Every structure is written in structure tokens, then in C-alpha cells.
Amino acid sequence: MKIWIDADACPKLIKEIIFRASARTGTPLILVANQAIRVPLNSLISTIQVPRGFDMADSKIVEEMSAGDLVITADIPLADVVIAKGGIALNPRGDLYSQENIKDRLATRDLMSELRDSGMITGGPKSLGLKDRQAFANKLDSLLAIRKNHEKK
């Protein structure tokens, strides 16, 4: 398993949690973004810089990832493709996307987009809080522990 981060929009605090988890568990980590990203010096951590453009990082992640890889993203359409390809998709708030919930998440996303476009709703999601960071760290740890247990078998 590798961890992929859709890094253009991933909060710095979440990246720091993932850096520590990668080092602690020996899990390779790849950050994909359309700009240079600073990462700790660690042979497990690498970056891929893609050209600027709509969904360039998403396309690169989908192209390079394998079934069983973990992708960290808040991008619901990307999560949908990751799941279809056999990957695991986790958002920075600790919510695991799955085959059971991804279609509902896409429908909700589309509805909210329409409401924002029509001016009925303004603003975006609430800022990332301590509970969100804790939920993310807990879910990431549990996914990596499951991976480790499967490798032992």
C-alpha cells in the first residue's frame, strides 16, 4: 500500500499527521500537486509536480495508484474514481468514502454546487477543527493498522 495525497488543497496540519504516520509505519507516501511542496527529508516521502490545469493532480493520482492504495482527498469525484479502481479514499476530516456512500456524496456535492451557483447558499465548509484532525488521525491509524495486519498473514 502507498499513500497518495491530493496535495493542492490538503491542509498543512493533515499533511503533518500523514508525514508522521508514514514514517512510523514505513508506508510510502506520494504528494501530487501543481506547485512545489515542502516535505520532510525521508526516503519514504516523494512528490510529483503536475502542470497547472483542471484536475491534473487528480488524473496523475488515478494513473499512478494501484488497487489497495490509500488516497487522501476532499475531492468527491476523485474519491469515486479511486474507489472504482479498488483504492481507499479518505477525506481530511476523517470520513472514509466507500462504494456504499460515494454516490450519495456525489449527489449532495452536486446539489450544494447548484445551490451555491444560484446564490441560495454562500460560503464553503467550516474550517478544520481539532475534532476533525483527531478523527482523521484515528481513521488513518486504523487503516494503516489493518494494512499491517494483512501483511503479517
Domain definitions of the chain by residue range: 3-152
Residue 137 has pLDDT above 70, yes or no: yes
Instruction: Quote the pLDDT of residue 23.
Output: 96
The model's pLDDT over 9-55, given as tens digits with 9 standing for 90+, comes to 899 999 999 999 999 999 999 999 999 999 999 999 999 999 998 88
Least confident segment among 4-8, 47-51, 104-108, 144-148: 104-108
- The Cα 118–Cα 139 span in angstroms is 35
Long-range contacts of 82-90 (CB under 8 A, 24+ apart): 88/143, 90/136, 90/139, 90/140, 90/143
Instruction: Quote the pLDDT of residue 151.
Output: 67
Least confident segment among 48-52, 95-99, 106-110, 131-135: 106-110
Mean pLDDT over 56-74 rounds to 96
| CATH number assigned to the domain covering 3-152 | 3.40.50
What is the pTM assigned to this prediction?
Answer: 0.86
